[in-house]
Amino acid sequence: MTDSHGRTIRDLRISVTDRCNFRCVYCMEPDVRFAPRESLLSTSEIIRVARIAESLGVRKIRLTGGEPTLHSELAAIIAGIRAATGVEIAMITNASLLTRDALREWKAAGLARVTISIDSLRPDRFARLTRSTSSPADVLAGVERTIAEGLTPLKLNAVLIRGFNDDEAADLAELARLYSIEMRFIEYMPLDSGHTWDSSKWVSAAETRAAIEDRFPLIARDDDDPSSTARTFAFADGAPGRIGFIAPVSSPFCGACSRLRLTADGKVRPCLFSTTEWDLRAALRAGATDDHLADFLIDATWTKQPGHGIASHDFRQPARPMSAIGG
């Protein structure tokens, strides 16, 4: 499945729900309205799309949300995708619901890897940032359980916002050393439901890297997968772990993008910043055959825009926030 700019799709991100138990300031406003339940794809619809996507060349599926662990049938979704496909199944989560039993159930169902978001190590700040009752200690306990259950390699994600948590770059980077994992810093993107993003709150990957290097000098690695979103670095002192920078704003990686997104309500989005959506749910519910659905995905992919254009003067933030797209 290729687009009109010659890029091949290998990676499908499926949002299983737009609901979340957090209200991160850079993602969801407290009064966000969720899609009606009947508009969300069912477990069998999600599995069917995954199977067809694999037949078109998708090799990796990442389950996301909202918060995917809130889905009552998450294990069945994972097991169904595993039974229907040979793709690698990963998940991204805020770690608030990572009990040992849940992790074991998802792993037994076929989940291979987990990515966990953590934006602050200071309890008061974490509470203000996530507007949740969870804490950094809860997230780190989830990290430890995930590693213990072997859902690895584990990655951590952080978004830094100026004046909020941008002084924690080195502290968060230290988690990579402590847990021998990859700690990734994602530039804040204009995808918040409050539409409050502005460049004064944005912290560049270069600035984040400089702040980390004040404490932990880094060495660029040269084995990054070209379609990877992150540029990764090792610690110069040989400590374990690595640091990744995902810089969609300062260094767009659109030219190597291999991703397609399916929202919880069944819309195909060729790009995070797409302003046009493709209503796969309507086709699914109108009785489309597998061949028709495959053609639908091929056609949607063909329209994938060359880039997101965040830096251009006529950039328009998509109406859907990150939580309703699936990051």
Residues that bind ligand SF4 (CB under 6 A): 20, 22-24, 27-28, 65-67, 94, 117, 323
> CB 129 → ligand SF4: shortest distance, Å?
9
Residue 157 as a binder of ligand SAM (CB under 6 A): the answer is yes
DSSP code of 229?
Answer: S
Closer CB to ligand SAM, 52 or 264, in the complex: 264
The token pair that represents 223 in the structure block: 């084995």
- Pick between residue 3 and residue 192 the one whose CB is nearest to ligand SAM: 192
Choose from ligand SAM, ligand SF4, none: what does 191 bind? Cβ within 5-8 Å by kind.
Answer: ligand SAM
Decide if residue 27 touches ligand SAM (CB under 6 A). Answer: yes
User: What is the Cα 220 distance to its own chain's centre?
Assistant: 23
**Of 158 and 218, which has the nearer Cβ to ligand SF4?**
158
What span, in angstroms and rounded, lies between the C-alpha atoms of 63 and 198? 28
Q: DSSP letter at 256? A: G
CA 105 to chain centre: 21
Rounded CA gap, 258 and 268, in Å? Answer: 14
What's the closest the beta carbon of residue 186 comes to ligand SF4, in angstroms? 10
Shortest Cβ 300–ligand SAM spacing (Å): 21
Closer of 69 and 204 to ligand SF4 (Cβ): 69
Residue 180: which of 246, 234, 120 has the closest Cα? Answer: 234
Q: Which does 23 bind (CB under 5 to 8 A by kind): ligand SAM, ligand SF4, none?
A: ligand SF4
Residue 70 interface partner, choices ligand SF4, ligand SAM, none, CB cut-off 5-8 Å depending on type: none
CA dihedral over 286, 287, 293, 296, signed as positive or negative: negative
Closest separation between CB of residue 130 and ligand SAM, Å? 9
DSSP string, 48-61: HHHHHHHHTT--EE
To ligand SAM, the closest distance from the beta carbon of 224 in angstroms equals 19
Tell me how far, at minimum, the Cβ of 139 lies from ligand SF4, in Å. 10
Name the minimum Å distance from CB 118 to ligand SAM.
Answer: 9
Closest by CA to 11, choosing from 51, 46, 54, 59, is 59
Looking up tokens 């069998």 gives 44
Q: How far is Cα 322 from Cα 327, in angstroms, rounded to an integer?
A: 6
Our finding on whether 185 is near ligand SAM (CB under 6 A) is no
Q: Which of 89, 159, 169, 310 binds ligand SAM (CB under 6 A)?
A: 159
Q: Which two tokens stand for residue 199?
A: 């460049």
94 HSE (CA, 13 A, CB side): 28
Tokens of 62: 């990442």
Q: Which positions lie near ligand SAM, rule CB under 6 A?
A: 20, 26-27, 64-65, 67, 92-94, 117, 157, 159, 186, 188-189, 191-192, 322-323, 327
